[in-house]
Amino acid sequence: MQVTQWSEALSGWLMGLGLPGWAAIFLVYAVGSFILINYGMLSVLLLIWITRKAISRIQDRIGPNRVGKYGLLQTVADAAKLLSKEDITPYEADKIAYNLSPILAVFGVLMLLAVIPFAPGLTGVDLNVAALYVVALGSIGIMAALMAGWGSNNKYALLAGFRVVAQLLSYEIPLVLAILTVVLLTGSMRFGQIVEMQSLHVAGFNLGLGWLGIVMPGALIVFFVSSLAEAELTPFDLLEAESELIAGFHIEYSGMKFAMFFLAQFLNAWILGAVAVTLFLGGWQGPGVGLPVIGPILGLGYFMIKVYGVYVLQQWIRGTFPRIRIDQMMYFAWKVLVPLMIGLIVAQAIIQKLPTPVAIQYVLIFIANVGVMAVVAYVLQKYFREEQIRTKRSFEPTSLIGGMQVSEKGTMY
Amino acid sequence: MQLPLGIEVPIPTFEQFVFIQVALLTAVAALAVVISRNLFHSALALTLTFFGVAGVYIFLEAEFLAVSQVLVYVGAIAMLIAFAIMLTRSMMFGRTSPLNNQWGKSSLFAILFFSALLAFARATPWPAAGEEVVADEALIGQLGREFVTTYVIAFEVLGLLLLVALVGAVMLARDR
């Protein structure tokens, strides 16, 4: 199916009106980025409302219900409140780093919107290195956190900044490896083409259910878990544990600058969900997207339903999971997720070189995914059983053990 | 465009206009790296320079290189530099002078290096404009194939170097 990009169609129409080529392209992209940026900013109002409502329901509360119908305008009221707050700059703060950091945080997230395919032919820009682009922009968020921590002239903010960098860098690796499996299978880093590949034609009709997440559930789960860590969501929100650390690296920020970090965080969760949908859950694919006129509209609908579904799932996890410790966080990234992904990639690379039809390869990749995950689950289960015994022993009072050999740290062997 | 004194000023095309901005950004940021009195600001300016270079790559229709540039230089190297500055406390808050007692010799070598670069740039027969560049996935695939065929030894040696660095870092950080 050949899809014309909205930008080509629109610039062609403008050039037909007599505009010079560069002006038409400039105008089209200006309009496109205006729409995307404003969509991103405004959708955060909805996202925060969804979060509050979902978590309230999980915790047996009602949630915001005073401002507007179902409390829909609560976030608008909160934004107005934040706007009217005093903008405080800490004593001897590094002005440049302190003021630039919230801007960079939002910038790094909003730029991601440019490559997300919303519907057939409706992508900001169909970059040929989109998958790599998503990874590269993650580093801007890390830089922003580091600048905020350093610029605040506060040792707690600085320490939290280091923790943010440690977490984001660690979880970037399984994230990249999970993206790599998709690139390996589709042979393309272009998001448009990755979504195209996930169609499923039955008797000439596009069912749109050939999702890669079905073929490689292991990669999907790793991507989802590491995207939770990248978006600093529970169970990986120890960076800004409000009850313990106040707010981590943005402890010194107030008013609208704080709101910008807040906005970046919610939007990042949504966009990482959108990337997960694009890579693994078929993007805009769904039954009937191949139809002439109604197809793109259906595609946009499917995409939004999937992305908001993933977002609600993230909030569900946020409302139910306890927070993990920092050593557990590092352990999980480096000793569980990275070996799992490397195993998956090696298995997939071998399978894709086998002289078998593509359908059999898909089945083999699925089996390899399930197999690697089963091995990891078995090893983890053994580890946790041993860990449980170890902690129980270390809590036993040493005096009662008496003559038994006790090592200096309280564990006995 | 004709200025009053009879000087001919070429009107830049749209691409040239954007390129001038990107090049200026890169050059000014690079200058800021050198003359900033605060080391952390130098690191931030260096990050900006890396972005500018990525912009220049985009002008050369090398999107893959541009994105790799951001990934490697901004994501890893700038971060490493920032960490190194932060963990050396005396540098963190002090206002260091951009000059030390070797500025005379180093400026001499800088000028020599610049003139050598200039000579090379003038001597190189640049490919004439208008040559079609194929920039899509096929090119990335070709790059990957070159890595594991023509340049396989360099590639493997680099991998080995990184592994050695990793093992060394683990040895240094190990609990004793």
What's the CATH number where B44 sits?
1.20.120.1200
- Whole-number pLDDT of residue A1: 43
B83 and B150 together in one domain: no
Residue B120 maps to a domain: no
Interchain CB contact of A137 with B (< 8 Å): yes
B66 and B152 together in one domain: no
Low-confidence ranges of chain B (pLDDT < 70): 1-9, 89-98, 127-137, 176
Interior angle at CA A60, CA A56 and CA A62, nearest 5: 50
- Whole-number pLDDT of residue A245: 64
State the average pLDDT for chain A: 84
Tell whether the model's pLDDT for residue A403 goes beyond 60. no
Interchain CB contact of B53 with A (< 8 Å): no
The predicted model gives A303-310 an average pLDDT of 92
Helices B78-87 and B39-59: crossing angle in degrees, nearest 10, is 180
- Whole-number pLDDT of residue B7: 63
**Structural domain that includes position B5:** 1-96
- Whole-number pLDDT of residue A64: 85
CA separation, residue A153 to residues A88, A254, B88 (Å): 13, 15, 16
Residue B122 maps to a domain: no
pTM of structure: 0.86
Q: Say which of B38, B67, B136 has its CB closest to residue A133.
A: B67
Q: Which sequence spans correspond to the domains of chain A?
A: 6-392
User: Residue A337 gets which letter from DSSP?
Assistant: I
Tell whether the model's pLDDT for residue A134 goes beyond 60. yes
- Whole-number pLDDT of residue A366: 92
- Whole-number pLDDT of residue A262: 86
B137, B142, B143: best to mutate for the A interface, most A CBs within 10 A: B137
Whether residue B70 contacts residue A107, with contact meaning beta carbons closer than 8 Å, is answered with no
B90 and B7 together in one domain: yes
Residue B130 maps to a domain: no
Residue B131 maps to a domain: no
If phi over 0 gives left and psi between -120 and 50 gives alpha, with beta otherwise, what is residue A204? left
User: Token pair of A334, please?
Assistant: 């480096």
Per-residue pLDDT tens over the stretch A181-238 = 999 998 888 888 888 888 887 777 777 778 888 889 999 999 999 999 988 887 887 7
Q: What share of chain A is helix, strand, coil (3-state, %, to 5)?
A: 70, 0, 25
B145 and B90 together in one domain: no
* B-chain residues near A172 (CB < 8 A): 75
Interchain CB contact of B74 with A (< 8 Å): yes
The CA distance from A372 to A217, in Å, is 11
The predicted model gives A287-300 an average pLDDT of 81
Measuring CA to CA, which residue among A141, A179, A172, A129 is closest to residue B65? Answer: A129
Burial class (CB in 10 A: 0-12, 13-18, 19+), A385: exposed
Q: How confident is the model at residue A19 (pLDDT cuts 50, 70, 90)?
A: confident
B149 and B85 together in one domain: no
Reported ipTM: the value is 0.77
Alpha helices for A242-357 (secondary structure H) = 242-245, 255-280, 294-320, 326-331, 338-352
Residue B144 maps to a domain: yes
Interchain CB contact of A169 with B (< 8 Å): yes
The CA distance from B7 to B3, in Å, is 5
Partners of A123 in the β-ladder = A117
Per-residue pLDDT tens over the stretch B95-105 = 666 677 788 88
Interior angle at CA A119, CA A116 and CA A120, nearest 5: 110
How many domains does chain B divide into?
A: 2
Tell whether the model's pLDDT for residue A136 goes beyond 50. yes
B151 and B82 together in one domain: no
Residue B90 maps to a domain: yes
Whether residue A282 contacts residue A211, with contact meaning beta carbons closer than 8 Å, is answered with yes
- Whole-number pLDDT of residue A398: 57
Going along A111-161, which residue ranges are E strands?
A: 117-119, 122-123
Q: How confident is the model at residue A327 (pLDDT cuts 50, 70, 90)?
A: confident
Residue B42 maps to a domain: yes
The CA distance from B176 to B157, in Å, is 31
The predicted model gives A394-403 an average pLDDT of 58
